[in-house]
Amino acid sequence: TTADIGVIGMGVMGSRLARNLARHGHAVGIYNVTTAKTQAVLDEHGDEGTFVPAAELADFVASLTRPRVVLIMVVAGPITDEVIGNVKEFLEPGDIIIDGGNSLYTDTIRREKELREDGLLFVGAGVSGGAEGALHGPSIMPGCSDEAYGRVGPMLESIAAKADDGEACCTHISTDGSGHYVKMVHNGIEYADMQLIAEAYSLLRGALELEPAALAEVFRAWNTTELESYLIEITAEVLDQVDAETGKPLVDVILDQAGQKGTGRWTVQDALDLGVPVTGIAEATFARALSSSVPQREAGQELAALAEAWQVDDADAVTEDVRKALYASKVVAYSQGFDQIYAAAVEYDWQIDLAAVAKIWREGCIIRAAFLDEIAAAYAGAAKRTGNQAADLHGAAEANDAKVSRDGAGTTNEASVDDESAAGEHSGTSTPGARTEDAEGSSGGENPVPLLLAARHFREAVEECIPALRRVVAQAALAGVPVPAFAASLAYYDGVRAKRLPAALIQGQRDFFGSHTYARIDKPGMFHTQWAEDGTEVPAS
Ligand code: 6PG
């Protein structure tokens, strides 16, 4: 038999994706360095479809129909490079390699380029949904050329999760590293979402003095509201779990140091480079780092709380406040994440349809949530209003314009600043401090949804929750309960809606000590005050 696709790596994800493919009628070549794993898949699941096992890489490749499609599911990083290098030797021009791991998008860009020189096509596919998703339908985010997608798209779509409307949770994201980039931000949002849920849990547990099993009920109830999502659902399961050994709630015997494999950190690192404030994701990533800062936490035990216990008069009202705080903060996190994907599309020249990204996150992936329908609608609606095709929402021409706008409107002022931003207007995509070397001046095309938070549905829904978020953050502060992601979300909300920010004072300080110059609200150009001399203002040269 010849196989339609070959899977390298029979670990948890690889074996389950191979089985998913086989169950959907594709003949699947399977290979693993240790042959025993390949054999185990055959022994245990050989009846689920057509598998073509191989013990040698040469035989594995020989078993595939041409042009060959090889899906690599191994550990991200050097091992992925090693496997690509090994299998490449047996491939021919026109053959396709898919990397389905959590690879860093810059690695994907490099690999695509290298393989293209050998005539091979490379697909960097983000795959979300864990072990269950891999088997029963993950969300798939492939980045590649049109040619490669034409060949692998139908196969990937066939095994992807299906949304309620029947659409497959797999779409061609854009070229090279775009798929892994979108998966990276997905994981960043996942970090924020998990941290927010954890903060809600910790607040309720402290304020209401409820046991985990009772809190599981609260989360179960929340899962019937607009918070409905996979992460809320599994939170209830985790809180309900009892440790067999001690009889205690499992959550109370798990060591409170959160691990991380890199995707959240990469999201924040790249957001810093792009100048996109993804404060929810950043606080979530740092909260994991704080939890694992063992010596600091040991030393910190010395610190006094100087806090006052939360006086709860109405437990239901507090629960509802926390639920609303969670919803508002969650919208902030997604808004920031989509903002980052937009900025990356502009910076790295990808055409990414944000409505399509929201749609393929509706099922299969870890951050699947009911409100992704509304996010998709917000982006799709904007595309219509601006007269763009949805697929061209972030098209190349517009992207280039927006890049100018982004850099020009919020530069650190060593570069020229356009009239619009000099006049103090909010120009949509502007973000200070990033990539100033690219600054080109005047503003151009706008992001049709510069702020998801301000899209009508979400603006109204979040406004509904803001008083609750304020109360929750204030009470948490008084009670000495750390809620970094809630607090950061509220600060972002207040920051982004502020008419004037104290950034003006920072510009003054920068000009004072470093002659960094500043723009004025009432006329174009850049200025410098001669602080050390007579204090007069001069135009900057
Ligand atoms: C997914 C998950 C998956 C993995 C994360 C966990 O979308 O299926 O995000 O990719 O579980 O990498 O990340 P951390 O180990 O960094 O929490």
DSSP 340-375: HHHHHHHHTT----HHHHHHHTSSSSTT-BTTHHHH
| CA distance linking residue 289 with residue 234, whole number of Å | 23
Strand partners, 69: 96
Q: Which atom of ligand 1 is nearest to the CA of 264?
A: 16
Q: How far is the CA of 366 from the centre of ligand 1 (A)?
A: 8
- The whole-number pLDDT of residue 404 equals 31
pLDDT value, residue 391: 38
Per annotation, catalytic residue among 112, 157, 190, 226: 190
Distance CA 198, CA 483 (A): 9
Coil, helix or strand for 472?
helix
Rounded distance from Cα 128 to ligand 1 centre (Å) = 8
DSSP labels, 203-231: HHHHHH---HHHHHHHHHHHTTTTT-BHH
- Dist. CA 13–CA 141, nearest whole Å: 15
Q: Say if residue 303's pLDDT is above 50.
A: yes
Do 185-394+447-497 and 5-176 have the same topology in CATH? no
Question: What whole-number distance in Å separates Cα of residue 149 and Cα of residue 138?
Answer: 17
**Which residue has a Cα nearest atom 17 of ligand 1?**
260
What CA–CA distance (Å, rounded) separates 420 from 429?
13
What percent of the chain is predicted at pLDDT more than 90? 87
CATH number of 503-539: 1.20.5.320
| Ligand 1 centroid, distance to 402 Cα (angstroms) | 31
User: What is the position in ligand 1's atom list of the atom closest to the CA of 130?
Assistant: 8
The answer on pLDDT for 444 being more than 50 is: no
Note the pLDDT tens digit of each residue in 45-92: 999 999 999 999 999 999 999 999 999 999 999 999 999 999 999 999
pLDDT value of position 446: 67
Token representation of residue 160: 């992807």
Q: How far from 3 is each of 44, 70, 91, 123, 338, CA to CA, in Å?
A: 19, 10, 15, 19, 38
| pLDDT tens-digit map of 145-167 | 999 999 999 999 999 999 999 99
37 is catalytic: no
pTM for this model (two decimals): 0.90
Mutate which of 103, 127, 182, 261 for ligand 1 pocket (most atoms within 8 A of beta carbon): 261
135 and 20 in contact (C-beta within 8 Å)?
yes
Which residues, at least 6 apart from 6, have a Cβ–Cβ distance to it below 8 Å? 28, 29, 30, 31, 52, 60, 61, 63, 64, 68, 69, 70, 71
Q: Are strands 526-529 and 518-519 parallel, antiparallel or unpaired?
A: antiparallel
CA neighbours closer than 13 Å in the CB half-sphere of residue 209: 6
Instruction: For ligand 1, pick from 263, 291, 292, 361 the residue to mutate: most ligand atoms within 8 Å of CB.
Output: 263
Contact yes or no for 232/216 (Cβ under 8 A): no
Best of 127, 135, 180, 190 for a ligand 1 pocket test (most atoms within 8 Å of beta carbon)? 190
User: Which residues' Cβ are closer than 6 Å to ligand 1?
Assistant: 102, 128-130, 187, 190, 259-261, 263-264, 365-366
Q: How far is the CA of 230 from the centre of ligand 1 (A)?
A: 14
183 flagged as catalytic: yes
- The stretches of 241-278 forming alpha helices (DSSP H) are 250-253, 263-274
Atom of ligand 1 nearest to the CA of 190: 9
**What are the structural domain ranges in the chain?**
5-176, 185-394+447-497, 503-539
pLDDT, mean over the chain: 90
Residue with tokens 């050329």: 145
Say if residues 41 and 15 touch (Cβ distance below 8 Å).
yes
Question: What band does 447 get if pLDDT is binned at 50, 70 and 90?
Answer: confident
Pocket test for ligand 1, best of 16, 102, 267, 292 (most atoms within 8 A of CB): 102
Q: What is the pLDDT of residue 245?
A: 98
- CB count in 10 Å sphere of residue 24: 15
What atom of ligand 1 comes closest to residue 133's alpha carbon? 8
Distance 509 CA to ligand 1 centre (A): 42
DSSP H or E segment with residue 103: none
For residue 541, the model assigns a pLDDT of: 80
Predicted pLDDT of residue 448: 80
Q: What is the mean pLDDT of residues 461-466?
A: 98
| CATH class of the domain comprising 185-394+447-497 | mainly alpha
Contact 352, 392 (CB under 8 A): no
pLDDT at 131 > cutoff 80: yes
For 104-148, the DSSP string reads -HHHHHHHHHHHHHTT-EEEEEEEESHHHHHHH--EEEEE--HHH
- Indicate the class that CATH gives domain 5-176: alpha beta
Q: Poorest-confidence range of 22-36, 428-442, 465-479?
A: 428-442
DSSP per residue, 232-250: HHHHHHHHH-B-TTT-SBH
Residue nearest to atom 1 of ligand 1 (CA): 128
Distance 372 CA to ligand 1 centre (A): 19
Q: Rounded to an integer, what is the distance from CA 88 to the centroid of its chain?
A: 31
| 394-400 mean pLDDT | 38
- Residue 143 sits at φ, ψ, to 5 deg, of -115, 125
pLDDT in tens, 88-106: 999 999 999 999 999 999 9
pLDDT score at 382: 75
Half-sphere exposure of 397 (CA within 13 A, CB side): 2
Return the structure tokens found at 146: 């049109």
Rounded to whole angstroms, the Cα distance separating 434 from 410 reads 8
* Ligand 1: nearest atom to the Cα of 129: 8
